[in-house]
Chain A
Amino acid sequence: MYDILYVLLRRLRAPLITLIVVYAVSIFGLVLIPGQDDQGNVWHMSYFHAFYFVSFMGSTIGFGEIPYAFTDAQRMWTLCTIYACVVAWLYGIGTTLAVFQDSGFTRLLRLRRFVNHVRSLTEPFYLICGYGVTGSNLARELTERNVRVVVVDIDQDRIDELELDGLRIPVPAFCGDASLPDILDHAGLQLPNCAGVLALTNSDKVNLAISIASKVLKPKRIAISRSESDITTANLASFGTDLIVDPFRSYAEYVALAAHSPHRHLVFDWLMNPEHRNLASVYRHAKGRWIICGFGRFGSNISRELKQEDTEVTIIDPDRKNIRGLPGAVLGVGTEAVTLQQAGVEEAVGIVAGTANDADNLSIIMTARELNPKLITVVRQNLSANDLVFENSRCDFIMQPGQIIATRIMAQLKTPLLSEFLDQLMLQDEVWAHTLLNRMNATVGEEPLESRSVCIGTKEAPAVLEKLQEGTEIKLIALLKNPHYRKETLHCFPLMMRRGDEVKLLPGELTELQEGDDILFCGRKGALDRMAWTAFNYNTLHYVLTGNDATQSRLQRWLQGSDTK
């Protein structure tokens, strides 16, 4: 990284030589020209005095004619050299400033600062490529949890935005093309503390390049990628990308789930967003026809998902080509009452406004609601600048693809078990989901529902491990006791347990724990913290199991063990 110094020196070559030559000529001239001392004798200035004089004369400080008053010849020479020196200095300073303002040079400086910052990180960090809606949401969530992130984006404006976003911990950010391996390398792709790579750019090609680079360098590291087409998804899956999210498809699945199985949808919603809606807000499950305005990527995905559940769908699209071959499709935007009536809005149960224009989408919803107030409304928001209007639009769903995949990825990073649980959830029926919802509601009430996984191992549950190695049987219920008062139960319960390849949903409280078990809990945040503490601290666990305080030291514990034997 000596590039900067070399570039600077190379550009300053001409001004430096000018300065040296001007000084040398000035000094030499002063030495040659005869002067007079105070007695009127001929006196030659020495190099020492000449250098002294030129040093303050050249920088226009001007201490006067030292050591003796100058003759006219000396003054004439000084007159010439004064201007030469000033010009040489201006040239030198001007060039230096120009180098520092040069865009190539500042880019080099920024890159160097970025690389130094990334290299100085000691904690594990996530590399986020693409600071759009998803990227910025994730960066905020992760930094809120004191997790380090590094951001790369191709657009300098977004990097500037990051600085304005006021994240809790400093985030090294760089403007560069993330599909280039050296940019990724600068961003710390090869560092041992890079915990995961998130490819969230708008371009599938770039995401693919990032994921491949990450997987080639470190196959075991988490790589998460956004994908907008099935071909890319298949390609990403082929080399083991850990999570692939398609914003349009995931949201379509989400909306379709709401339409046909509201209880499962609410379980999903609660686990994904801690700020959940209350139980009363379960969408009424009304079988019937849906209207989809705009048959683009979003519309076609929703239509496919809905059709899979045998829901009737009517499409409205302004482009004749898009709706060719679709039975019952209506030509038009959907903003006018006539078009909506033509599509049968009065008998429909839901409407999706999925055009690429925010104003059109809102207009569709307003018109449709006037014609049929009972409609379930889904609206697509394209620009995050329109937040205010959409928040107040009283729509049932506001579709922001960026946000939904951010929560999805966050869940994966937080607790990989959660994604697995959600997959399992889709295989269960509505009644099961309803029971689960009631249990969750009883546990957390109005508080946010958090989830956390615990692995019985040295990292998260050393106390449990030690007790197991001592030969004590530990049942799952032990972890659910209040560590301050063991007769009380904490406000949390296990959702899922994984032992080897076997997965058990809602494991019983009497299940005995074994080393290597992965357990997913949900409940109030405080309760989960206490539960994690019990699993971590030997003395606490001992109290919870026996009701007695544990003897403190390992030696005493060993002595006691040998007594009882």
Chain B
Amino acid sequence: MNREKVIFAFFIVLALTLNFGFFVGDIDNPEHHDVLELFLALVVSLICTVLKFGDRSHLGALMLATSLVADLQLIIAAGIWGYGEHIAATGMDPRVMASVVSFAGGALLANITSVILLMVETVLIRR
């Protein structure tokens, strides 16, 4: 068992699960989406990106790219959340919540791709 591989896979899968956890629920209902999960999803996604740094293989480059996409989506979602909660005059209305969740949904797709790539890599190395 390779400890490094365990950590790597752990973070990638965790990024997906946290992201999914935030995403499920009615799209415009703030009650269904915990901001803690968005925060954790963003942090874990950032850690995933750094873990993928410096791998020069083709698959490594793809993984890094999906991670960067997820980061971008989540940062935008967090930004919109901050805007809705603190800056917007209307407060957190369903429209703002819907756009936060839909951005997180985009990140979810990127994270799913990342996990698929991880599985592809695992299948390719038959040991």
Chain A interface (Cβ < 8 Å from any Cβ of B): 6-7, 9-13, 16-17, 20-21, 24, 27-28, 31, 46-48
Contacts and interface: CB of A to CB of B under 8 A. Distances in A.
Nearest to B44: A24
Interface in B3-26: none
6 contacts: A9-B54, A12-B53, A20-B50, A28-B39, A31-B36, A48-B82
B85 A48 contact: yes
Contacts of B40: 24
B20 to A, nearest CB: 19
B32 interface: no
B47 A48 contact: no
A48 B83 CA distance: 9
B86 A17 contact: no
A99 to B, nearest CB: 12
A47 B39 contact: yes
Interface string B25-54: 000000000011001100100110011011
A16 B46 CA distance: 9
* Max chain B C-beta neighbours (<10 A), residue from A6, A27, A31: A6
Interface string B88-103: 0000000000000000
Interface in B57-94: 78, 81-82, 85-86
A278 B122 CA distance: 83
Nearest to A3: B56
A6 B54 contact: yes
B85 A46 contact: yes
Contacts of A6: 53-54, 56
Contacts of A13: 50-51, 53-54
Interface of B: 35-36, 39-40, 43, 46-47, 50-51, 53-54, 56, 78, 81-82, 85-86
B82 to A, nearest CB: 4
A7 B86 CA distance: 41
Contacts of A17: 47, 50-51
A422 B86 CA distance: 89
Contacts, number: 43
Nearest to A14: B50
A10 B53 CA distance: 6
B86 A48 contact: yes
Nearest to B86: A48
9 closest cross-chain pairs (CB), A and B? A10-B54, A9-B53, A24-B43, A48-B82, A16-B50, A9-B54, A20-B46, A17-B50, A6-B54
A196 to B, nearest CB: 36
Contacts of A31: 36, 39
Nearest to B64: A9
A173 B39 CA distance: 51
Nearest to A50: B39
Nearest to A16: B50
B34 to A, nearest CB: 11
A20 B43 contact: yes
A9 B64 CA distance: 12
A17 B53 CA distance: 11
B39 A27 contact: yes
Contacts of A27: 39
A417 to B, nearest CB: 52
Contacts of A16: 50, 53
A17 to B, nearest CB: 5
Contacts of B43: 20-21, 24
A165 B56 CA distance: 40
B47 A21 contact: yes
A20 B47 contact: yes
A20 B71 CA distance: 13
A50 to B, nearest CB: 9
Contacts of A47: 35, 39, 78, 81-82
B81 to A, nearest CB: 8
A16 B43 CA distance: 12
A21 B42 CA distance: 11
A16 B85 CA distance: 29
Given A46-B86, A47-B78, A48-B81, 9 more contacts: A13-B51, A13-B54, A17-B51, A20-B43, A20-B47, A24-B40, A31-B36, A31-B39, A47-B39
A24 B36 CA distance: 11
A28 B47 CA distance: 16
Contacts of B81: 47-48
Nearest to A49: B86
A316 B5 CA distance: 75
Contacts of B46: 20
B36 to A, nearest CB: 8
Contact of B54 (A7, A20, A28, A48): A7
A13 to B, nearest CB: 5
A24 B39 CA distance: 8
A68 to B, nearest CB: 15
A320 to B, nearest CB: 63
A192 B54 CA distance: 34
B97 to A, nearest CB: 15
B91 to A, nearest CB: 12
**Interface-central residue, B46, B50, B56, B86, by most chain A CB under 10 Å:** B50
A365 to B, nearest CB: 63
B127 to A, nearest CB: 24
Contacts of B56: 6
B4 to A, nearest CB: 11
Nearest to B78: A47
Contacts of A9: 53-54
